[in-house]
Structure 1
Amino acid sequence: MTEFTSARDALRTYFGYDAFRPGQEGIVNAIIQGHDALGVMPTGAGKSICYQIPATLLPGMTIVISPLISLMRDQVDALNDVGIPAAFINTTQSPDEQDLMFAQALSGRIRLLYVAPERLETERFRTFASRVPISLVAVDEAHCVSQWGQDFRSSYLGIGDFLKALPVRPTVAAFTATATERVRRDIIGILGLRDPSVTVTGFDRANLYFDVIRMERKRKVSWVASYIADHPDESGIVYCATRKEVESLAESLNIAVCELRAAKGEDATRLGMVAVAYHGGMPAETRERAQRDFVTDRVPVVVATNAFGMGIDKSNVRYVIHHNMPESIEAYYQEAGRAGRDGEPSRCTLLWNESDIATRRRLLDSDYENERLTAEEQEVVRASKRRLLNAMIGYCRTTDCLHEYMTRYFGEAGGAAVRDDGTCVGGCAN
């Protein structure tokens, strides 16, 4: 790899940008200078640049901890394409393939190594980590460490122990798109960040129009189909609460949208598939094909559970429709925020009704069992999730500005950007 005199040189050479986005340069410089860092930046703000650039400048290897095995290959391929040696180690590889990655890392031929948090607990990986010089550990989706966040994962609790066991403690940087003040404190405490440089770039996405529509269940399919048919040249994501709803809605949309467009005089034989389904219960090959068809614009719409979206590199999503109410403001902000990553005006619509609330409460009370936690700790997690759900219900029912509701929820003092007449810049239904 080329040696650079500055982070901006590396940014220009590898990624073709002359300047960093807001918040990036401060985090990059802090990491290069050996300071721990916490970056809270919205979807599309470029969190990965904040650890990828230091990885090209620091002498040792960077370990990236990510919960999303399915996205590691995309990230690694993209880095290798621009000349940054990167690899991953996960359960999709054979032992021989993993041995090859370990050998390359030990010989200094890998700058970034992506691993899932569960990998840190294996004796094999800990032995490897004790033998290789590590300059930086980057923790992606760091909100998963907090029991007060919307996506707590107990495997994240082992990261702190892994760091303590290393012969030399590296710089540690944590990143997330969604973290209240309480969750930020958790991230710093549980990961053991030392006097970190904290960057919160702001939660308001002024290019997004938010609206909430209360709608009975039987009308939702026709509303979504009509919207898609009226926006034939736009790319969109439709989120559903369950796998069964994903498959049913995708099938219905492929029929209904074609019928609506044919009624307008279009040649139905040339319309092709409108929507693909995506959820965690599908075979990996089917999911990858659906994701690829959507990202490459072969299919304009993906209907998905919350298993879809993290790290998806698609900037031109013009709308995100939630067919059901999500479980938290954090989840909604992250999913809706996949619209308009290119900064262009985009729409985020939430369809909901009282049965959505009942469904979410039922899922909440039935889906959390974890062997790492005591019964009392599990109840703390459930209570936290009930609190998060209540905030989401409040969003659906509020008559306040929706941009303001979200920024206030995340504790942002400046609030939403407003025009001279007091309305939000992005626009919302309230």
Structure 2
Amino acid sequence: MLTQAKEKLHTHFGYTQFRTGQQDIMDYLFKGESTLGIMPTGGGKSVCYQIPSLLLDGVTIVISPLISLMKDQVDELSGLGISATFINSSLPYDEVQTRIAGIRQGDYQLVYVAPERLESPGFAAVFEQLPIALIAVDEAHCLSQWGHDFRPSYLRIPELINRLFQRPPILALTATATPEVAQDITTILGIPSSNRVQTGFERDNLSFHVLKGVDNDRYIKDYLVRNPSASGIIYAATRKEVERIYARLLKQDIRVGRYHGGMNADQRRDFQEQFVYDQLQVMVATNAFGMGINKSNVRFIIHAQMPRNIESYYQEAGRSGRDGEPSECMLLFDAQDIRIQQFLIDQSDMDDTRKKQEFKKLQSMINYCHTEGCLQEYILQYFGEKQTTPCGKCSECADDRSIADVTKDAQMVLSCIHRMGERFGKTMVAQVLVGSKNRKMSEMNFDTLSTYGLMKGKGQKDVIQFIDYLVASQILRLDGGGYPVLKLTERCLPILKGESKVFRKEARAPKEMSQEDPLFVHLRELRSELAAAHDVAPYMVFSDRTLKEMVERLPVTESAMLEIKGVGESKLDTYGRAFMKKIAQYRLEQDVK
């Protein structure tokens, strides 16, 4: 059946080989076995159930919380000649009934369903009567209460599966699962732990950058001016900040949209469609935007504020470069970001156990912002993977700054924490070190400590950032939830004795993206014209990666065009000839020159 799967891959999607992990997952499914697939964003998770839906007897059910993704994928699959539909809250009652009737009649090979729909007894009854060949659970980390996006409605999935007359194979898919979350998923869905396919979290086309102490507004403006043709997303932690950045960019004549939970559904949908169809250059949004936006040519992600945890950050950053082309992920860090996230956790309705877990995740995110090691390596280690060599392109690896010996400053900080009994947080420690005149200093006799005012030549903010660096370097650790206290680690004693040194670097901004090839620009314009004519998003015509391969190989015949990755027979018939004509015209112009 794998041979037939490859034929379907080429015919419908234009590729001759499966990506890493895809064939392994399908091998389990074709043997009737359930499996968990952990693949990075852009790794091709959708194909793992789309191809089997064409070959297995019965209907494939895809359970996903991503309403926008459902519509995008159904539109794209329909354009490829694959019968698919979706059922979610965006549809009126009559339309839902019509689609259910079509599902019962066997009109669709593949059906996307929102997890909340499973709570409806009526739909559950329909579900039980269908000849189900496969159940795919997308964003499977939502099953785990230790995941970053736990959704109670997902717990209905195993309940529904158990009511089926015959259990079909289950495919659980996620891009962000720590070892703990992965174990949770397999246990809840009854997937053998040996049936896990993990391709690795590394995204080698992404470069990560953390910038501290920059003017966010100026940086964002300059970046967009330097890269006017690059499509991207700017994330902010609050609705208020989204509105502020949006208004500012609008005044600067940037083609910008916005997206957050305070807007009505029509507004969100309108901006989202403009962005997907390349009518807007950039979206400013909270984390409510982007899940399931299958736009392949997002070239950059800017986090104007630090996210709450590594899982959210990597998922949001991973929305860039889905086509495999080089893309940038910038995080503009400010200490105020920490207080915002602490406040959001404190004000949530989570129980104390979950809050403690969230504070722990937040600390890992803070450590990421202050590490001076490879940023990608830090992320991979968080997800339980080891990287053999640094990535070579993140803001730390590509950094040519000189390294300063800061052992003396570290000794001052460590000594101060020790003399304060390891009972206080970094703000209080920093105030003692800079010799603050705060009333608490005298009330608690901190102004009598030998370490009081040892770093009075530095600003309190600079000392706090240095403490954060020591925490990120695992020289210090933070203990507690919303108000953690600083603790010394086993690494401190050699530093205090002068037997071990501490080094640190300075900050630096990333470079602008490279200029584009003239033919690529022409092909992208043609793509936009064809997309508008066929009422589809530009990425549904061809991805940036496919266009760049056309630029490299200059195909002007059908056979040559079919050798380009991403060009199948369906797309050749619909769009290919227009691109062949444009490329032939370009080649003629070059010959004349």
TM-score normalised by L of structure 1: 0.88
- 1:399 maps to which residue? 372
The answer to whether the 8 Å contact 1:39/1:175 transfers is: yes
Pairwise CA distance, 1:89 = 1.4
Instruction: State the alpha-carbon separation in 2 of the partners of residues 426 and 206 from structure 1.
Output: 9
The answer to whether the 8 Å contact 1:24/1:47 transfers is: yes
Which one of the candidate residues 363, 381, 399 is aligned to 1:408?
Answer: 381
Which one of the candidate residues 251, 255, 270 is aligned to 1:255?
Answer: 251
Instruction: State the alpha-carbon separation in 2 of the partners of residues 33 and 54 from structure 1.
Output: 11
Structure 1 residues 59-68 or 79-88, which shifts more? 79-88
Question: For 1:283-327, what per-residue CA distance to the aligned partner results, in whole angstroms no more than 9, with x for missing partners?
Answer: 222222212222222211111111111222222222111000001
Check 1:20–1:13 CA distance in 2 against 1; reply closer, same or farther (3 A cut): same
- 1:266 maps to which residue? none
Structure 1 residues 70-79 or 152-161, which shifts more? 70-79
The answer to whether the 8 Å contact 1:403/1:428 transfers is: no
- 2:166 maps to which residue? 168
Pairwise CA distance, 1:329 = 0.4
Q: Mind listing any 5+ residue stretches in structure 2 that lack a counterpart?
A: 398-593
Instruction: State the alpha-carbon separation in 2 of the partners of residues 88 and 151 from structure 1.
Output: 22
| Equivalences for residues 257-336 of structure 1 within 5 A | 258=253, 273-336=254-317
| Equivalences for residues 1-400 of structure 1 within 5 A | 6-194=4-192, 197-215=195-213, 219-256=215-252, 258=253, 273-368=254-349, 378-400=351-373
Describe the SS at the equivalent of 2:36.
Answer: strand
Pairwise CA distance, 1:91 = 1.9
Question: For 1:218-238, what per-residue CA distance to the aligned partner results, in whole angstroms no more than 9, with x for missing partners?
Answer: x21122111111211211111
Describe the SS at the equivalent of 2:91.
Answer: coil
Pairwise CA distance, 1:4 = 9.6
Instruction: State the alpha-carbon separation in 2 of the partners of residues 196 and 368 from structure 1.
Output: 36
- Residue type matched to 1:408 in 2? Q
Question: For 1:145-188, what per-residue CA distance to the aligned partner results, in whole angstroms no more than 9, with x for missing partners?
Answer: 11111111111111111111111111100001101111100010
Instruction: State the alpha-carbon separation in 2 of the partners of residues 142 and 201 from structure 1.
Output: 16
1:428 equivalent to 2:395? Answer yes
Check 1:196–1:64 CA distance in 2 against 1; reply closer, same or farther (3 A cut): farther
Pairwise CA distance, 1:424 = 2.1
The answer to whether the 8 Å contact 2:35/2:196 transfers is: yes
The answer to whether the 8 Å contact 1:32/1:57 transfers is: no
Describe the SS at the equivalent of 2:170.
Answer: strand
Check 1:181–1:233 CA distance in 2 against 1; reply closer, same or farther (3 A cut): same
| Count of matched residue pairs | 397
- 1:264 maps to which residue? none
**Which 4+ runs in 1 deviate beyond 4 A?**
none
Instruction: State the alpha-carbon separation in 2 of the partners of residues 104 and 4 from structure 1.
Output: 29
Instruction: State the alpha-carbon separation in 2 of the partners of residues 135 and 300 from structure 1.
Output: 41
Structure 1 residues 13-22 or 310-319, which shifts more? 310-319
Check 1:196–1:291 CA distance in 2 against 1; reply closer, same or farther (3 A cut): farther
The answer to whether the 8 Å contact 2:72/2:294 transfers is: no
- Residue type matched to 2:309 in 1? S
- Residue type matched to 2:329 in 1? C
Q: Mind listing any 5+ residue stretches in structure 1 that lack a counterpart?
A: 259-272, 370-377
Instruction: State the alpha-carbon separation in 2 of the partners of residues 130 and 392 from structure 1.
Output: 43
Check 1:123–1:196 CA distance in 2 against 1; reply closer, same or farther (3 A cut): farther
Pairwise CA distance, 1:5 = 5.9
Describe the SS at the equivalent of 1:248.
Answer: helix
Check 1:202–1:108 CA distance in 2 against 1; reply closer, same or farther (3 A cut): same
The answer to whether the 8 Å contact 2:39/2:201 transfers is: yes
Tell me which of the two structures has the higher relative contact order, counting C-alpha pairs closer than 8 angstroms and 6 or more residues apart: 1
- Residue type matched to 2:234 in 1? V
TM-score normalised by L of structure 2: 0.65
- Residue type matched to 2:217 in 1? V
User: Percent identical across equivalent pairs?
Assistant: 49
Describe the SS at the equivalent of 1:6.
Answer: helix
- Residue type matched to 1:11 in 2? L
Pairwise CA distance, 1:195 = 5.0
Question: For 1:36-55, what per-residue CA distance to the aligned partner results, in whole angstroms no more than 9, with x for missing partners?
Answer: 11111111111000011111
Describe the SS at the equivalent of 2:40.
Answer: coil
